A and B are shown apart, each in its own frame.
Chain A
Amino acid sequence: MIVCKDLRAAYGERAVLDGFSLKIPERGVTALSGPSGCGKTTLLRVLAGLEELQGGTISGIVPGETAILFQEDRLLQWRRVEQHLTDVLPRRRWDRVPELLALAELEGEGGRYPSALSGGMGRRLALARCLALEARLYLLDEPFAGVDLPRALRILERLRALPAPVLLVSHEEAVLERADRTVWLEGPPLRALEPR
């Protein structure tokens, strides 16, 4: 179990996390949902070690053991789809490329450049690249933005089967319903409304 207790973080004077606590089970998908700007992204960035924590503790994980999918795709326009994965995978694990492409339903697109992909395909490539990292916690910020719902749900099922827990942000009702656990949030400062 990954336990976040009394987390505190702020942007200048503005407290985004002020005593926020959350438990993330060892496996499965925990979905976070809440209005824009309530602090969901900040929470993911704090867990990834990208924002400085001003108080509180995180146990069961260290920032170096997480993999984050950013809110933007951040694809390298000069690298092909397959290269995005081999850039992240160690050479001995390059055999995972077909598996990751299949997970993101990008089979047959390996030789294309990001500019030739649709918005949803780019998002799925960014997701596959994030999952190529070996991590003990995957932090996915709106992984299904621009992805059609049936496909998003199929990919969600694959995320649920991952050996490491997934904490994802989504606004899609169907995704939230099928996640192993959903936490409704509001803020700032961020606070949980009702764990399911």
Chain B
Amino acid sequence: MECPKYLKKLLYALPAPIFWLGVWQGCAFLVDHRLGGRGNELLLPYPLSVWRVLVSLAGTEGFWTTVLTSLGRIGVGLVWGLALGALLAVLTCASPWADRLLSPAIRVVRAAPVASFILLVLLWTGRNKVPAVIAALMVMPVVWDSLSRGIQAADPKLLELARCYRFSRWKTAALIYLPSLRPQLLSALTTATGLAWKSGVAAEVLCLPEPSLGQRIYYTKYYLDIPELFAWTAVTVALSMVLERLLRACLGRWGRGRHG
């Protein structure tokens, strides 16, 4: 009898998480064995303890509000970063003057420490806006870089075809540039989503907007509640993965054909 497809997928996906959970369990056991007492509670909790905390948190009133508010803020920042990065990539590739003017500024944004930006943006705007602005600022250079490379690498033979076959600019963009850019955009998206969450939550930790994942993480540090820190971190990672999957699914529909 043939193994069902979903079961095959599950069997393929499960070993790695099980292995790393095993490593975590082993390390927590070592901490427990060596230190005893509050070792696990203060340094490295068992996976099961974190799971229990997570389940209890999920049952509380503020959990979903916190999660959805942070998701909204960082999601907005991510979308703005993607849009801005794409727009700047088009501009800098279309005009050498725009490239000369904008590229150094974008590179400065990419190299500057995120903490400096968080503090500056906190001074310039309200604390609730900081995570979105920071997420957008961190995502924008990554998307700009990927898409600029993609635009420059568009097949010159196809571009020559577009000129000869009298394609309008829009048609050239839609039929040649965008499908050629799809792999770059999908790869940039993975990096950008991770960056948006890292920087967005860091901004929340420093600015403490209410409610937010960052604020909850800040309080776990304040009260040395390490299992809860792990639980909120797990929530952040899960949200980042869900958002990335969602965006990839949306972009995956666009420009898809049969390659190869």
Interface residues of A (CB under 8 A from B): 48, 50, 67-68, 70, 72, 74, 76-80, 87-88, 113-116, 129, 133
Q: How far is the CA of A72 from the CA of B171 in the complex (A)?
A: 21
Which residues in B have their C-beta under 8 angstroms from that of A114? 258
Interface residues of B (CB under 8 A from A): 157-158, 160-161, 164-167, 171, 175-176, 179, 255-260
- Contact assessment for B258 and A115 in the assembled complex, using a CB-CB cutoff below 8 Å: yes
Give A78's nearest chain B residue, CB to CB.
Answer: B257
- Contact assessment for A68 and B164 in the assembled complex, using a CB-CB cutoff below 8 Å: yes
Q: Which of A68, A78, A80, A87 contacts B256 (CB 8 A)?
A: A78
Q: How far is the CA of A95 from the CA of B258 in the complex (A)?
A: 25
What distance in Å separates the Cβ of B175 from its nearest Cβ neighbour in chain A? Answer: 6
Which residues in A have their C-beta under 8 angstroms from that of B165? 67, 87-88, 129, 133
- Contact assessment for B158 and A74 in the assembled complex, using a CB-CB cutoff below 8 Å: yes
Shortest 3 CB-CB distances between A and B: which pairs? A78-B257, A113-B258, A78-B179
- Contact assessment for A77 and B167 in the assembled complex, using a CB-CB cutoff below 8 Å: no
What distance in Å separates the Cβ of A47 from its nearest Cβ neighbour in chain B? Answer: 12
Give B256's nearest chain A residue, CB to CB.
Answer: A78
What would 19 A/B residue contacts be, using CB atoms closer than 8 Å?
A: A48-B164, A50-B164, A68-B164, A70-B161, A74-B157, A76-B158, A76-B175, A76-B179, A77-B257, A77-B259, A77-B260, A78-B255, A78-B258, A78-B259, A87-B171, A87-B175, A113-B257, A115-B258, A133-B166
Q: Which of B166, B171, B260 contacts A115 (CB 8 A)?
A: B260
What distance in Å separates the Cβ of B164 from its nearest Cβ neighbour in chain A? Answer: 6
Residue among B160, B161, B164, B176 with max Cβ neighbours from chain A (10 Å): B164
Residue among A78, A114, A116 with max Cβ neighbours from chain B (10 Å): A78
- Contact assessment for B257 and A74 in the assembled complex, using a CB-CB cutoff below 8 Å: no
Which residues in A have their C-beta under 8 angstroms from that of B176? 76
Q: How far is the CA of A79 from the CA of B165 in the complex (A)?
A: 15
Known: A50-B164, A68-B164, A87-B167. A79 touches B257 (CB 8 A): yes
Which residues in B have their C-beta under 8 angstroms from that of A79? 175, 257
Given contacts A78-B255, A78-B256, A87-B175, 14 further A-B contacts (CB under 8 A): A50-B160, A67-B164, A70-B157, A70-B160, A72-B157, A74-B157, A76-B176, A76-B257, A77-B257, A77-B258, A77-B260, A79-B257, A113-B258, A115-B258
Which residues in A have their C-beta under 8 angstroms from that of B171? 87
Residue among B158, B165, B167, B255 with max Cβ neighbours from chain A (10 Å): B165
What distance in Å separates the Cβ of B176 from its nearest Cβ neighbour in chain A? Answer: 7
Q: How far is the CA of A78 from the CA of B167 in the complex (A)?
A: 16
Give B165's nearest chain A residue, CB to CB.
Answer: A88
Q: How far is the CA of A88 from the CA of B165 in the complex (A)?
A: 7
Q: How far is the CA of A78 from the CA of B174 in the complex (A)?
A: 11
Q: How far is the CA of A78 from the CA of B180 in the complex (A)?
A: 9
Which residues in B have their C-beta under 8 angstroms from that of A74? 157-158, 161
Give A74's nearest chain B residue, CB to CB.
Answer: B161
What distance in Å separates the Cβ of A123 from its nearest Cβ neighbour in chain B? Answer: 15
Which residues in B have their C-beta under 8 angstroms from that of A116? 258
Residue among A72, A76, A80 with max Cβ neighbours from chain B (10 Å): A76
Which residues in B have their C-beta under 8 angstroms from that of A68? 164
Which residues in B have their C-beta under 8 angstroms from that of A70? 157, 160-161
Which residues in B have their C-beta under 8 angstroms from that of A72? 157
Give A87's nearest chain B residue, CB to CB.
Answer: B175
What distance in Å separates the Cβ of A180 from its nearest Cβ neighbour in chain B? Answer: 25
Which residues in A have their C-beta under 8 angstroms from that of B179? 76, 78
